Amino acid sequence: MNAHDERGTTMTGVEPSRLDDQQLMKELETIHRTRHDTLLYASNDALRAHNERMAQLEGEYLRRNPRRPVAAGRTREGARERGAADTTTPTTPGT
C-alpha cells in the first residue's frame, strides 16, 4: 500500500450507532435515494465509500430492529406463490 492509498481509513458521516432512530432513517433514505446515480456516475472510490456507508447504516437498522415486519410477498416463498398465481390466473380480454 502506498502513502496515498487510504482505503479503509476514512469514515464519512456520524457513526451509525450514535444516530437516534429518526436520524438513522433519514440517513438511510438519503443513501438509498442517491444509490442509482452513485452506481452509474461516481468514481470507484466514491462507490466503495457509498457501499461501506450503506452497509453500516443498514447493519445498524437491522441491529435495532431484529423483529421488523416482513411482508409475505417479499420472501422467496411469497414470490413463488405470486409466480404460480400469475401462471394459473386466466386473463379475460378487455378487463
Average pLDDT over residues 11-20: 90
Which cell numbers in the block locate residue 82? Answer: 405470486
CB atoms within 10 A of CB 13: 14
Which cell numbers in the block locate residue 51? Answer: 457501499
pLDDT above 70 for 1: no
Q: Report the Cα–Cα distance between both ends of the chain, in Å, rounded.
A: 64
Instruction: Indicate the range of 13-22, 39-48, 50-59, 77-86 predicted with least confidence.
Output: 77-86
Can you give the pTM of this predicted structure?
Answer: 0.70
pLDDT value, residue 79: 77
pLDDT above 60 for 23: yes
Average pLDDT over residues 13-40: 97
CA 36 from centre of chain: 11
pLDDT value, residue 92: 60
Query: Which segments of the chain are extended strands (E)?
Result: none
d(CA 1, CA 15): 26
Which cell numbers in the block locate residue 74? Answer: 417479499
